[in-house]
């Protein structure tokens, strides 16, 4: 079984992500809530980590930052969704900017602009995705360790992939009903996970 750790940043979408993962027969999921009381478990046996969406800004969450600041092996695949992606970029030196208006329950189109990871190999240009956020990565501040993979139709950063680690960030929610190919994306990510042994 592929054990996946989901860091729950207290968002209403977290268990939609968990449900998608549990639909995959090869996956075993463990959820840890970043409630200020729970410690990060030993991650040696996990195949990958998902950083969930959440309200606020990355600095407000402890466990997610522990994952990104060195508490796990550098070869650990990490998938950051919405807030999770923002944490990935800010930990590596990038900045966020506030959108002129929130994008909560907002459908957008993916516009690919770089080499696609396997997660997106079968996803067509212009695929609809659902967005629920007020902050976005400031592209001008994106550190050189990241590849920009996709923007939305307004030019906002939607997908980034780290060059030196197996980290992928999604600004949109693949688990949303407005992301009709979101399950396929998550399944493709799971298929790429190497054994931790």
- 82 catalytic per annotation: yes
Active-site residue identified among 74, 106, 113, 175: 175
51: its two tokens:
């950083």
Q: How far is CA 49 from CA 40, 45, 102, 122, 193, in A?
A: 12, 11, 27, 23, 10
119: its two tokens:
């997660």
Which DSSP helix (H) or strand (E) runs through 27? Answer: strand 27-33
- 74 catalytic per annotation: no
- 145 catalytic per annotation: no
Which DSSP helix (H) or strand (E) runs through 22? Answer: helix 14-22
**CB-based contacts of 63, cutoff 8 Å, min separation 6:** 7, 32, 34, 38, 40
Taking CA 86 as the corner, what is the angle to CA 82 and CA 89, rounded to the nearest 5 degrees?
A: 140
What's the rounded Cα separation, in Å, for the pair 196 and 42? 13
Active-site residue identified among 19, 66, 69, 82: 82
Backbone φ and ψ of 191, nearest 5°:
-65, -25
Catalytic residues: 82, 173, 175
């Amino acid at each position: 079984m592929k054990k996946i750790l989901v860091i729950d940043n207290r968002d209403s979408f977290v268990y939609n992500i968990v449900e998608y993962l549990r639909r995959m027969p090869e996956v075993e999921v463990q959820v840890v809530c970043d409630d200020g009381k729970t410690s990060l478990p030993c991650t040696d046996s996990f195949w990958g980590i998902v950083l969930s969406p959440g309200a606020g800004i990355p600095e407000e969450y402890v466990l997610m930052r522990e994952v990104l600041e060195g508490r796990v092996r550098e070869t650990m695949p990490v998938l950051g969704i919405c807030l999770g992606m923002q944490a990935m970029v800010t930990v590596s030196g990038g900045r966020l900017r506030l959108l002129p208006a929130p994008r909560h329950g907002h459908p957008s189109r993916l516009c690919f602009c770089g080499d696609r990871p396997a997660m997106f190999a079968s996803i067509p240009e212009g695929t609809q995705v659902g967005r629920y956020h007020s902050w976005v990565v400031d592209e001008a501040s994106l550190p050189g360790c990241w590849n920009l993979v996709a923007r939305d139709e307004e030019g906002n950063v939607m997908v980034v992939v780290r060059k030196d680690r197996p980290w992928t960030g999604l600004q949109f929610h693949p688990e949303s009903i407005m992301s009709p190919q979101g399950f396929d994306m998550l399944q493709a990510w799971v298929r790429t996970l190497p054994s931790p042994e």
